Structure formats: structure tokens, C-alpha cells
């Protein structure tokens, strides 16, 4: 006696996905089921998988190339940016006491607190 309405479920021997036992292939991984084997389904799954594999390689290669180009572009952009925004020596104030480089406009050393802008003794402009 067969159950007509309730399908028996089997599990994929490869990935464990539950599949109807009248399925010939696992819908998830493409592995041929017992039913598929029993039915002697002729399906070029191996070739198909090879094709998928090839596509995967191509995609990966393309992706790597794109990633490399992107990386290069970022690198170029960054070096351009650095050339434009180079923190040149003139733009930092080196502390005469401790040698710490202070950002432009600093009056006192951020490290030791020494006065960075020399007090011009001969500036009698008052
Ligand atoms: Zn599977
Ligand atoms: Zn200092």
C-alpha cells in the first residue's frame, strides 16, 4: 500500500537537505539521490559542476582583477592626496626642547609645554 498524498522525505547523502524521495537530484547541492540513481537519470551533473567550477574561477579571477584595480586606484588616489596634503616640515613646528612635532599654529608644545613661537625680543612694535 502506498501513501498517495504524503511524500516520503529523504535526506541528501551529500549535504543533508531534506528532499522528496521522488526527486532525482538534491535541490541544494545537485547530488543525485537514490531515486535518481534508481531511475538511472542521465544527467551531466559532473559536466555541469565542472562548468560551474569554471565559471567560479572566471568570476574569482575577474573579481581579483577588479579588486586589484580598485586597490591600485585607491593607492594612486592616496598618493596624490599625500602629495597635495604632504605634512611638510614647514607646516609642523618642532619643539626646540623635546623635538616633538606640533601641528601648525601651536603656541606651546603638545608634549612638554615649551613655548614654540619664539618670543621676538627685538619686536618693539608695541
Ligand atoms: Zn545535497
Ligand atoms: Zn616639547
Q: Ligand 1 mean position to 33 CA, how many Å? A: 9
Q: Which residues surround ligand 1, an ion (CB under 5 A)?
A: 12, 14-15, 17, 26, 28-29, 31
Write out the DSSP string of 76-95. HHHHHHHHHT---GGGEEE-
Q: Which residues surround ligand 2, an ion (CB under 5 A)?
A: 95, 97-98, 100, 109, 111-112, 114
> How many whole angstroms separate alpha carbon 29 and alpha carbon 18?
11
User: Measuring CA to CA, which residue among 20, 46, 44 is closest to residue 33?
Assistant: 20
> How many whole angstroms separate alpha carbon 67 and alpha carbon 61?
10
Tens of pLDDT along the chain (126 residues) come to 555 556 678 888 899 988 888 888 888 888 888 888 888 776 555 666 677 777 777 888 888 888 888 888 888 888 887 777 665 546 788 888 899 888 888 888 888 988 887 766 665 555
Q: Scanning the structure block, which residue is given the C-alpha cell 606651546?
A: 108
Q: Which helix (H) or strand (E) holds 101?
A: strand 101-103
Q: Ligand 2 mean position to 107 CA, how many Å? A: 11
Contact 7, 20 (CB under 8 A): yes
Amino acid at each position: 500500500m502506498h501513501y498517495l498524498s504524503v511524500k516520503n522525505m529523504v535526506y541528501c547523502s551529500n549535504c543533508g537537505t531534506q528532499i522528496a524521495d521522488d526527486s532525482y537530484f538534491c535541490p541544494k547541492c545537485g547530488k543525485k539521490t537514490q531515486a535518481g540513481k534508481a531511475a538511472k537519470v542521465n544527467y551531466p551533473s559532473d559536466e555541469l559542476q565542472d562548468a560551474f567550477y569554471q565559471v567560479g574561477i572566471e568570476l574569482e579571477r575577474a573579481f581579483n582583477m577588479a579588486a586589484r584595480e580598485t586597490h591600485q586606484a585607491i593607492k594612486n588616489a592616496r598618493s596624490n592626496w599625500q602629495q597635495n596634503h604632504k605634512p611638510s616640515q614647514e607646516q609642523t613646528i618642532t619643539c626646540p626642547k623635546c623635538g616633538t612635532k606640533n601641528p601648525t599654529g601651536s603656541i606651546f608644545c603638545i608634549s612638554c609645554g615649551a613655548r614654540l613661537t619664539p618670543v621676538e625680543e627685538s619686536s618693539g612694535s608695541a
